[in-house]
């Protein structure tokens, strides 16, 4: 009886031993903090915002004042054929109107008479106005408007890219935690299987058990060892994947220490970390969603393109007027000295212009359809993942109760064995059922974490 009691204590040791809290724990919140701050893909996303700022600066450059000077001279056989100096200063304005001033100083024996300015320079100040195409919208106006919208679009896309990185990092962390927990589980039962095998060999030597029981115990030891080695391999690969998301300043990758462990009780903090416990399915929330904002910005860009294409249907009528005067008489305002111009252009069939407008309208309509569809899909996905999370919570309670029942059944079977009323085969069967239930519990816990990450990705709020 004393031998059976000793054996029972050896059997139950693996289930009841306590674990000390590891001080080298990398919490999930801390892990995401490193990813947000140092991951190269997050930094790369910020470069796109800088590129959008540069494009905006380029678009504004179309409205910069311009100063031009053109000087040309020709001399041949000691004769001054001509000397032409033309300077101009132009100021583009928002509505296609251009204000300009100029100075011409031309002379020479063979100068074209229309370029003659006598012995004095000729000054001019005038204005150019488009009356058809280009008055209310033109290419430079459209480019500047689109550049401003593109800047907002880049901000939304940066959020979406950051969300994707954090989502991928979260899945890697959850995989690491799942494999880490499985390794600890197999280590515990591998240790218990070895203790059982040693104890049975003692009983067989004493003649209290048949030799066949040692083979049964040996089989379970080998199975537990195989399971442990396989889980350790998965854990090693999970650590390598996790290390790809850990960086420090100056783009320095971090190597994970062997004794680093994941957060032990993550299910109590994950909602707060990912901010998935807030009311989120409201219309106001969706209006501020970066994906919705990105689609709305694209629609605004396409709307500007459509207006520009529609403007191309108008005839091109440009008129210009310049007041001319010699510099010393410029303040006398003799408006009978002037230069005017009219430029008219209009295709007869407008097939190119009408085709471009139709294409722009179709693109705009397609983008609007995508926006309406995206709103509905976001609402449904948010509702779906919240429902899934609540369902998994209920399943976790059931599987936890099931694990407790299997532990109780195993303890009872071991107690019967200590009285000689059970067998190693039955104990192994009970233990296998318990291990399967605990693995299912670990898998379900991982599904719970992944569902929160999916909801976080749909909400798209990286803050």
Q: Are residues 277 and 292 in the same domain?
A: yes
Cα(300)–Cα(151) distance, rounded to whole angstroms?
12
Q: Stretch 402-429: mean pLDDT, rounded?
A: 86
* Helical H segments across 90-243, by residue range: 139-206, 212-243
Q: Is the pLDDT confidence value at 456 over 50?
A: yes
Q: How confident is the model at residue 121 (pLDDT cuts 50, 70, 90)?
A: confident
> What pLDDT is recorded for position 357?
93
Q: Which residues 6+ apart lie within 8 Å of 214 measured at CB?
A: 197, 200, 201, 204
Q: Are residues 291 and 410 in the same domain?
A: yes
In Å, how far from its chain's centre is CA 93? 38
> What pLDDT is recorded for position 315?
92
> What pLDDT is recorded for position 287?
76
Q: Are residues 211 and 289 in the same domain?
A: yes
Q: Stretch 223-229: mean pLDDT, rounded?
A: 93
Phi, psi of 235 (to 5 degrees): -65, -40
Q: Is the pLDDT confidence value at 14 over 70?
A: no
Cα(453)–Cα(275) distance, rounded to whole angstroms?
10
The Cβ of residue 384 has, within 10 Å, a number of other Cβ atoms equal to 14
Q: Stretch 94-103: mean pLDDT, rounded?
A: 88
Instruction: Tell me the HSE value of 55 on the side-chain side, using a 13 A CA sphere.
Output: 19
Selected residue with higher pLDDT from 268 and 242: 242
Q: Are residues 278 and 388 in the same domain?
A: yes
pLDDT in tens, 25-42: 889 999 998 898 888 888
* Highest-confidence segment of 18-27, 39-48, 115-124, 441-450: 441-450
User: Domain end: 348, 373, 405, which one?
Assistant: 348
pLDDT in tens, 146-168: 999 998 888 888 888 889 999 99
Token representation of residue 183: 């390794």
Q: Is the pLDDT confidence value at 7 over 50?
A: no
- Domain assignment of residue 128, given as a range: 65-135+315-348
> 4-13, 97-106, 142-151, 204-213: which range is least confident on average?
4-13
Q: Stretch 8-19: mean pLDDT, rounded?
A: 41
Query: In the chain, count of helices (H) and strands (E)?
Result: 10, 10
> What pLDDT is recorded for position 335?
67
> What pLDDT is recorded for position 4?
45
> What pLDDT is recorded for position 283?
53
Selected residue with higher pLDDT from 107 and 17: 107
Give how many domains the chain has, as a whole number: 2
Q: Is the pLDDT confidence value at 225 over 90?
A: yes
Looking at residue 291, which CATH number applies to its domain? 1.20.1600.10
Q: Is the pLDDT confidence value at 95 over 50?
A: yes
Q: What percent of the chain has pLDDT over 70?
A: 90
Q: Is the pLDDT confidence value at 170 over 90?
A: yes
Q: Stretch 207-224: mean pLDDT, rounded?
A: 80
Maximum Cα interatomic distance, the chain, rounded to a whole number of Å: 134
Q: Are residues 302 and 160 in the same domain?
A: yes
Q: Stretch 371-382: mean pLDDT, rounded?
A: 91
Q: Stretch 350-357: mean pLDDT, rounded?
A: 91
> 86-100, 325-339, 341-355: which range is least confident on average?
325-339
Q: Are residues 93 and 229 in the same domain?
A: no
Q: How confident is the model at residue 109 (pLDDT cuts 50, 70, 90)?
A: confident
Q: Are residues 334 and 409 in the same domain?
A: no
Q: Are residues 335 and 190 in the same domain?
A: no
User: Is residue 357 within 8 Å of 274, Cβ to Cβ?
Assistant: no
Q: Is the pLDDT confidence value at 21 over 50?
A: no
Candidates 262, 64, 42, 253; CA nearest to 161 is 42
Helix axes 139-206, 424-459, angle to 10 degrees: 170
Instruction: Tell me the CA distances in angstroms from 238 to 23, 162, 192, 241, 394, one per residue in order.
Output: 20, 22, 26, 5, 28
Q: Is the pLDDT confidence value at 22 over 70?
A: no
pLDDT in tens, 257-310: 888 899 988 988 898 888 887 765 555 567 788 899 999 999 999 999 999 999
Q: How confident is the model at residue 3 (pLDDT cuts 50, 70, 90)?
A: very low
Which residues lie across from 319 on neighbouring strands? 129, 342
Q: Are residues 160 and 246 in the same domain?
A: yes
> What pLDDT is recorded for position 331?
60
Q: Are residues 263 and 338 in the same domain?
A: no
Q: State the DSSP H helix or E strand holding residue 35, giving kind and residue range, or none if neither.
A: helix 28-38
Q: Stretch 206-228: mean pLDDT, rounded?
A: 82
Q: How confident is the model at residue 463 (pLDDT cuts 50, 70, 90)?
A: low
Q: Are residues 42 and 150 in the same domain?
A: yes
pTM of the entire predicted model: 0.80
Q: Stretch 426-454: mean pLDDT, rounded?
A: 93
Q: Are residues 325 and 191 in the same domain?
A: no
Cα(407)–Cα(187) distance, rounded to whole angstroms?
17
Q: What percent of the chain has pLDDT over 90?
A: 39
Selected residue with higher pLDDT from 9 and 296: 296
Selected residue with higher pLDDT from 307 and 118: 307
């Amino acid at each position: 009886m004393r031998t059976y009691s000793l054996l029972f204590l050896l059997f139950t040791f693996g289930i009841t031993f306590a674990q000390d809290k590891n001080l080298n724990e990398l919490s999930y919140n801390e892990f995401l903090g490193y990813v947000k701050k140092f991951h190269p893909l997050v930094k790369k996303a910020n470069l796109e915002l800088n590129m959008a700022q540069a494009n905006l600066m380029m678009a504004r450059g179309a409205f910069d004042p311009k100063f031009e000077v053109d000087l040309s001279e020709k001399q041949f056989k000691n004769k001054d054929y001509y000397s032409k100096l033309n300077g101009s200063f132009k100021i583009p304005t928002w509505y296609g109107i251009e204000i300009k001033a100029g100075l011409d100083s031309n002379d020479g024996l063979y100068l074209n008479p229309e370029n003659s300015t006598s012995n004095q320079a000729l000054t001019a100040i005038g204005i150019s106005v488009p009356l058809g195409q280009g008055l209310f919208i033109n290419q430079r106006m459209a480019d500047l408007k689109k550049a401003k919208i593109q800047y907002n679009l880049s901000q939304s896309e940066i959020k979406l890219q950051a969300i994707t990185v954090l989502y991928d990092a979260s899945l890697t962390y959850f995989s690491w935690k799942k494999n880490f927990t499985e390794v600890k589980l197999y280590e515990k039962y591998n240790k218990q299987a070895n203790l059982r095998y040693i104890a049975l060999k003692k009983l067989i030597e004493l003649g209290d058990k048949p030799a066949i029981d040692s083979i049964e115990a040996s089989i379970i030891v080998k199975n537990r060892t195989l399971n442990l080695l396989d889980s350790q391999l998965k854990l090693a690969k999970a650590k390598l994947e996790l290390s790809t998301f850990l960086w420090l300043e100056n783009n320095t990758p971090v190597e994970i220490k062997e004794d680093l462990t994941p957060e032990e009780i993550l299910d109590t903090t994950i909602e707060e970390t990912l901010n998935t416990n807030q009311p989120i399915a409201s219309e106001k929330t969706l209006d501020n969603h970066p994906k919705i904002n990105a689609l709305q910005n694209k629609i605004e860009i396409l709307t500007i393109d459509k207006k520009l294409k529609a403007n191309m249907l108008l005839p091109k009528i440009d008129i210009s007027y310049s007041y001319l005067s010699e510099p010393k008489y410029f303040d006398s305002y003799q408006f009978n000295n002037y230069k005017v111009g009219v430029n008219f252009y209009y295709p007869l069939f407008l097939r190119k212009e009408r085709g471009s407008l139709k294409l722009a309208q179709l693109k705009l309509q397609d983008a609007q359809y995508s926006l309406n569809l995206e709103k509905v899909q976001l609402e449904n996905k948010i509702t779906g993942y919240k429902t899934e999370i609540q369902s998994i919570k209920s399943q976790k309670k059931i599987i936890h109760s099931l694990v407790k029942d299997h532990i109780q059944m195993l303890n009872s079977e071991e107690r019967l064995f200590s009285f000689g009323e059970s067998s190693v085969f039955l104990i192994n069967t009970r233990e296998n059922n318990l291990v399967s239930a605990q693995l299912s519990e670990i898998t379900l816990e991982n599904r719970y974490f992944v569902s929160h990450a999916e909801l976080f990705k749909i909400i798209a709020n990286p803050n």
